[in-house]
Amino acid sequence: MAARSAHDDDLDAHDARQHEADEADDDILVPAVSVPDPAEAEFDALLPEEIRRHSRIHFTPTAVARRAAELLAPLGTEWVLDVGSGPGKLCTLAARARPGALFVGIEQRRALARLATTIADRLDVANALFLHGDVTDVDWARFDAFYLYNPFAEHIPQRVSCIDDKVELDPEHYDACVAHVEEQLARARVGTRVVTYHGFGGSIPFGYDLALDEEAGTDRLELWIKVYDERAAG
């Protein structure tokens, strides 16, 4: 049998330390549930109960909102339109993350647009503004970026639960809204950014590149950037 060298002793000592470390790792308890995001709880706590219960399905989760803010406003000075802003979760949280940018929400439910303004005030967020109206009423040309969290799904019966019965939901209006988004994006200038979460029911027009597509929340965030303007070219 070959004589043991000092090197063999070092290796044994290393193995012993590794074994202890492996056992210690086994003792680490991984929490079975994810830890709630404090900003999520802070925002949701400001919602009345009848709205809060829709938060998980209808409003952008906090972590997704922060990531969307980076994608929508990389310079930190952009004007962003949230198409169907609900109680303003995306706009308020993104505005907080990007204080030099402006986040505007357009929302068909008057009560939600008002609630959004109240919450943004309560959280001292001055660069998030909310309008009551239909997406077809807004001048899209003023904005550098658009956020779409499947805004019109409620207009299709049984597609998702309804937030309330305060607005008329109509499948024909769904088609009109989707067509309006496609038309406005087709008219937008080169450099326009579009972020979708759960899509919007239509197709991003020709001239946009899919710059990023990553897992987020319960779906994916897609970032589209307009790189070519057919109208300007021809």
Ligand X SMILES: C[S@@+](CC[C@H](N)C(=O)[O-])C[C@H]1O[C@@H](n2cnc3c(N)ncnc32)[C@H](O)[C@@H]1O
DSSP notation for the chain: -PPPPHHHHHHHHHHHHHHHHHHHHHHPPPPSSPPPPHHHHHHHHTS-HHHHTTHHHHS--HHHHHHHHHHH-SSS--EEEEES-TTSHHHHHHHHH-TTSEEEEEES-HHHHHHHHHHHHHTT--SEEEEES-GGGS-GGG-SEEEESSTTGGGSTTTS--S-SSS---HHHHHHHHHHHHHHHHHSPTT-EEEEES--SS-PPTTEEEEEEEEETTEEEEEEEE---HHHH-
Nearest distance from residue 126's CB to ligand X, in Å?
A: 19
Determine, following the binding rule CB under 6 A, whether residue 82 of this chain makes contact with ligand X.
yes
> Quick check: 201 binds ligand X (CB under 6 A)?
no
Walk across the sheet containing 79-83 and list its strands. 128-132, 102-107, 79-83, 145-148, 193-197, 219-226, 208-216
User: By CB under 6 A, is residue 115 in contact with ligand X?
Assistant: no
Q: Shortest approach of ligand X to residue 134 CB, angstroms?
A: 4
Q: Could you say whether residue 134 binds ligand X (CB under 6 A)?
A: yes
Among 69, 106, 129, 223, binds ligand X (CB under 6 A): 106
Asked whether position 43 contacts ligand X by CB under 6 A, the answer is no
Q: Establish if 93 lies at the interface with ligand X (CB under 6 A).
A: no
In the complex, least distance from residue 107 CB atom to ligand X, rounded to whole angstroms = 5
> Could you say whether residue 108 binds ligand X (CB under 6 A)?
yes
Interaction pattern, residues 45-74, with ligand X; x per rule: CB under 6 A: -------------xxx--------------
Site for ligand X (CB under 6 A): which residue of 62, 85, 184, 192? 85
Residue 86 in the binding site for ligand X (CB under 6 A): yes
Among 89, 96, 98, 226, binds ligand X (CB under 6 A): 89
| Distance in Å, CB of 17 to ligand X, minimum | 50
Q: Give the residues lining the site for ligand X (CB under 6 A).
A: 58-60, 82, 84-86, 89-90, 106-109, 112, 134-135, 149-152, 154, 163, 177
